[in-house]
A = this chain, B = another copy of it.
Amino acid sequence: MSRATLRDVAKLAGVSVATASKALNGQPQVRAETRERVIRAAEQLSFSPNTLAQGLITQRSGTVGLLTSDLEGRFSIPILMGAEDAFGSDQTSVFLCDARGDTIREKHHLRALLSRRVDGLIVVGARPDTRPSLGDLPVPVVYAYAPSDDPADLSLITDNTGGGRTAVDHLIRCGRRRIAHITGDPGYSAAQDRARGAVDRLTEEGLTLAGGEVWFGMWSEAWGRGATRMLLERCPDVDAIFAGSDEIARGVLDVLHEERIDVPSRVAVIGFDNWSVLAVNSRPPLTTIDLNLEHLGRIAAQRLSAAMDGTAASGVETFPVRLITRESTAPLR
C-alpha cells in the first residue's frame, strides 16, 4: 500500500493538480461536477495530502511541542489530554518530549522542535515553582503548571492558595474547629501556598492550626504516617486533618485507622491532587482538591492558538481548583 500524490489524483480525474487541490479544499472556483470527480478519484486512491508539503508552503506545520519534565508524573498527562482536546486532533498533533529534569536535554529537545517548525510550545514543569524562561523564541510559548520567571511570558498556574483555602473552608463547613495541616517539602511553593491559604481561612474564622503550626515534611505516605502519630500525641482532640497531597492523606488515614479513630465521624481528612488511584481506593474514599489540569491544558491550547493568530498575552493567569467530595469528610453529628 503506497502513497498517492495529488498529481495521481489529478491525472485520474482528468484535471490539473491546481484544480484538484482546489476541489479537495473546497475552494469555490470549481464546477460541482468536476469537484465530484476529483473527490472520487481521491477516495479511489485513498489519497491523503502530504502535510509536510502543505506545511512548507503555508508556513504552518500544524504541530505543537509539549515539553515536560514530568512524564511519569501525573501532571503533564492531563494537561496533554486537555490540549489535544482543544486543538481539533485533525488540525494539530502534539510532539511530546520529556527533558527528565535535565537542562541540556531540554535545550536539545527545544532545538529539535524548532527545527520541526512547531507552531507553538507548551512547557510543563515538574513542580509548581517558578522555572527559567526559555527566552525569546520564534514561536509562541505558554508555560503551564510551573510559571516562567519572565513576566513577559504567559504562564498558566493552578491556584494553590485558593486550594488551601477551599480545603479548610470545607472542613469548617463540616463543623470542624481543631484542624491540622500536614504537608510536604517546604521548599515547594505549592506547600507554602496551600498552607497560606489554609491559615488565612482559619484566621478569618478566628481559629488557629491544631498542633500549633503547619507540619512540613515530605511528599510521601511515610511522612503522613509519622506526622499523624506525632500530631495525635500532641493534640489528641484534633477533629480534622488537611493533607497537602493524596499520598500524605493515605498515610494519615492509615494511622487513624490503626488507632481505631473513625473517619470521618471523629476526624475528617481531606487530601490534595485527586490522584484517583490513591483517592478512590482509600478507606474511606478521599475527599480531595482537584487541580483541574485538563482545563489548564485546554486553556493553554486556546492561548497558544490566539498567539499564533497574532494576539499574544503575557503575565500569570491563575485557575481555580475544585473540591471533590467523597466520604472522608462529613458534617459532625
Residues of chain A touching chain B, judged by Cβ–Cβ distance below 8 Å, are 1-3, 48-53, 55-56, 61-63, 71-72, 77-78, 80-81, 84, 89-90, 93-98, 105, 108-109, 111-117, 136-138, 220-222, 225, 247, 250-251, 254, 257-258, 275, 277-278, 281-283
Provide the residues of chain B in CB contact with A283, threshold 8 Å. 221, 225, 254
Of all chain B residues, the one with the shortest Cβ separation from A92 is B112
Provide the residues of chain B in CB contact with A222, threshold 8 Å. 281
CA distance A36 to B54 in the complex (A): 34
Question: What are the 5 closest A-B residue pairs judged by CB atoms, nearest first?
Answer: A221-B281, A96-B96, A48-B115, A52-B52, A51-B116
User: Which one of B113, B136, B138 contacts A3 once the chains associate, using CB atoms below 8 Å?
Assistant: B138
What's the nearest-Cβ distance from chain B to residue A192, in Å? 23
What's the nearest-Cβ distance from chain B to residue A217, in Å? 14
- Contact call B112/A89, Cβ cutoff below 8 A: yes
- Contact call B247/A51, Cβ cutoff below 8 A: no
Q: With A51-B117, A283-B225 given, is the CB distance from A247 to B72 under 8 Å?
A: no
- Contact call A81/B56, Cβ cutoff below 8 A: no
22 contacts between A and B (CB under 8 A): A1-B136, A3-B117, A48-B111, A50-B115, A50-B117, A51-B117, A52-B52, A52-B53, A52-B55, A52-B61, A52-B117, A62-B116, A63-B116, A71-B80, A81-B98, A89-B105, A89-B109, A93-B113, A93-B116, A94-B96, A247-B277, A251-B281
Provide the residues of chain B in CB contact with A109, threshold 8 Å. 89
Of all chain B residues, the one with the shortest Cβ separation from A118 is B93
User: Which one of B61, B90, B116 contacts A112 once the chains associate, using CB atoms below 8 Å?
Assistant: B90
Of all chain B residues, the one with the shortest Cβ separation from A136 is B1
Provide the residues of chain B in CB contact with A93, threshold 8 Å. 95, 97, 112-113, 116
Provide the residues of chain B in CB contact with A221, threshold 8 Å. 281-283
Provide the residues of chain B in CB contact with A278, threshold 8 Å. 277
CA distance A89 to B247 in the complex (A): 33
CA distance A281 to B112 in the complex (A): 37
Provide the residues of chain B in CB contact with A111, threshold 8 Å. 48, 90
Given contacts A52-B52, A93-B112, A94-B95, list 17 more A-B pairs with CB under 8 A.
A1-B136, A1-B137, A48-B114, A51-B116, A51-B117, A52-B56, A52-B61, A52-B116, A63-B116, A77-B77, A89-B108, A89-B112, A93-B116, A95-B95, A96-B96, A222-B281, A257-B258
Provide the residues of chain B in CB contact with A53, threshold 8 Å. 52, 56
Provide the residues of chain B in CB contact with A96, threshold 8 Å. 80, 94-96
What's the nearest-Cβ distance from chain B to residue A310, in Å? 15
CA distance A28 to B254 in the complex (A): 68
What's the nearest-Cβ distance from chain B to residue A252, in Å? 13
Provide the residues of chain B in CB contact with A275, threshold 8 Å. 277
- Among A50, A105, A114, the one with the most B-chain Cβ atoms within 10 Å of its Cβ is A50
Of all chain B residues, the one with the shortest Cβ separation from A137 is B1
